[in-house]
Structure 1
Amino acid sequence: MSSLRNIVVLISGSGTNLQALIDAQNTESLPQTRITLVLSNRKAAYGLTRAQQANPPIPTAYLALQPYLKTNPGKTRDDYDAEVAKIVLKEKPELVVLAGWMHVFGDGFLDLTNGAEPPIPVINLHPALPGAFDGANAIERAYEAAQKGKVTHSGAMVHRVVKEVDRGEPLIVREVPIEKDEPLETFAQKLHSVEWEIIVKATKKALDEVKPIQA
């Protein structure tokens, strides 16, 4: 049995969080770990290029919801989610990391990952604090709330994926202050820097639970 711990990363965009994982794999930050597949639901996602340019290159896959539904008449969003899960399960990963994956999974995905033997945990990076700004555009919504004096900070977390959006148990939570009158770009950059750190730490934490390092 291999002592390497395999992870699959799902992305939708530029892949800066993926890059943090690529840089950390098989280092002290993420020992005995390799990314075996990067899957995107957007063909133009730059994260796919990051994976291909890694050393060694990381295999990639692409599957988007609308093209899948168009080429598979009668299939549903749940069928798409199950299809993504099947691609992931072929890799036999110890962990699935959603790193900027902009698609909310329904039961079709989690039923298969939870039903694997052993079950495969799924974790997600979300740029907000638990229960604060669930769902999309969390950074912009938090910033807007701060400008109206409703909040003084936001943050980022990595949480376990459950069927309720962004409501799984948090593994790591970090607060990020929002300074009065700072540009949105400045706040976003501070938050992204925190994301790059915690996605690596949370991935290690989750892996250590399911497949501890062999001495």
Structure 2
Amino acid sequence: MTTLHETIIPEKRVRRITVLISGSGSNLQAILNSCGTDKLPNAQVTHVISSRSNAYGLTRAKTHKPSIPTSVCALKTFQNRNPGSTREHYDLEIARQVVESKPDLVVLAGWMHILSDKFLEILNGEKPPPPAPALPPPQINSLPTKSDEIKLPSLDKLKISDKNENEQKKKDEVEVKEESSSSSTSESKLPEPPLHQSFPIPIINLHPALPGAFDGANAIGRAFDSFQKGEITNTGVMVHKVIAEVDRGQPLIVRDVEIKKEDKLEDLEARIHEVEHQIIVEGAKMVLEELEKETR
């Protein structure tokens, strides 16, 4: 029972995060593991959108507790099912799916498509999302395994038996279960969406390079080549806000990453991925804390 002198502090709403992926989803897993902990309190991933139907990140989302809704929208599939559609139409459909998921934050975690101005206009609240396409993406009936992401030249040529494939699937299933059980969340179910969507919806991206260096694709490989030529002594990783110019949004978190003389490309990739898993969570927390201050 409260008195006239007591102040009732409303419970903080659990913030909803929509994550866009294209691959294995290791950065998605880092976010999932951090939700509901001190690293990312009062937050939960509530939707995952993939540009590839065989992305293992879909399995991470579906087997998480609570299970996270997913959708797949591949560019070629979208265009085949909607004749005459362009790349801009595809971006509009991605924006529609994002807004429909009612997020407080959108995280690009290994999303392999450059998003156009049309996408940003919708998430900034400048234009309404389009209606759903006549033919939505097909439903995915089975969960991808890690081996699904590897394009094999020929199963007959490599003589991969059904037994080996089944063993690989079992290994993947065990790994997903272990990751799901290790993740922490204060919610046994997904948080309810807000009654009204707020705009603009903040979007952050993870890029494996320092600000202004190696924008775009294959940033790690290009940095490694530059190091071999003596042009740079180190590289880095950043989380930045998403704007129309590729990888040119305001940096939120920047980390230097050492390149060693004895490094192979795989060594540098592993070192960068380790940092990525840390700062993608830190960047999400930073933006959500800013949102919390704005709503007080």
Confirm or deny a common fold (TM above 0.5): yes
The one-letter amino acid of 1:204's match is K
How is 1:81-96 mapped onto 2 (pairs within 5 angstroms)?
81-96=91-106
Alignment of 1:91-102 (within 5 A): 91-102=101-112
In structure 1, the partner of 2:77 is 67
**Offset at residue 211 of structure 1 (A):** 2.7
The count of aligned residue pairs is: 215
Select 1:15's aligned residue among 14, 25, 30.
25
Which residue of the partner structure matches residue 43 of structure 1? 53
Take 2:88 and 2:104, find their aligned partners in 1: how far apart are those partners?
23
1:191 pairs, out of 262, 268, 272, with 272
Residue type at the aligned position of 1:143: F
1-structure distance, mates of 2:72, 2:199: 25
Contact 1:10–1:100 (8 Å) recurs in 2:
yes
Correspondence for 2:225: 144
Report the 3-state secondary structure (helix = DSSP H, G, I; strand = E; otherwise coil) of the residue aligned with 1:133: coil
- CA distance, structure 2, for counterparts of residue 114 and residue 79 of structure 1: 17
- For normalisation by structure 1, the TM-score amounts to 0.96
Q: Which has the higher strand share?
A: 1
Aligned-partner Cα distance in 2 for 1:213–1:31: 17
Q: Where do 5+ consecutive residues of structure 2 fail to align?
A: 1-10, 127-197
Moved over 2 A (4+): 211-215
SS of residue matched to 1:6: strand
CA distance in 1 between counterparts of 2:295 and 2:245 reads 34
Structure 1 equivalent of residue 122 of structure 2: 112
Of 175, 179, 184, which aligns to 2:260? 179
Cα distance in 2 between the residues matched to 1:40 and 1:91: 14
CA distance in 1, matches of 2:103, 2:81: 28
Task: Say yes or no: does 1:164 pair with 2:245.
Answer: yes
Q: Is the CA contact (8 Å cut-off) linking 2:16 and 2:104 kept in structure 1?
A: yes
Per mean C-alpha deviation after superposition, the further-off stretch among 75-84 and 8-17 is 75-84
Structure label with greater radius of gyration: 2
1:23–1:36: structure 2 CA closer, same or farther, 3 Å change rule? same
Q: 2:218 corresponds to which letter in structure 1?
A: N
For structure 1, the residue ranges without an aligned partner over 5 or more in a row are none
TM-score with structure 2 setting the length:
0.70
Please give the secondary structure, in 1, of the residue aligned with 2:240: strand
Query: 2:16 aligns to what?
Result: 6
How far apart are 1:118 and its partner, in Å? 2.1
Query: How far off its partner does 1:213 sit?
Result: 10
**1:131-170 deviation line (CA, Å, top 9, x unaligned):** 1000000011101111111111101000000000000000
* Equivalent residues of 1:69, 1:75 under 8 A apart: yes
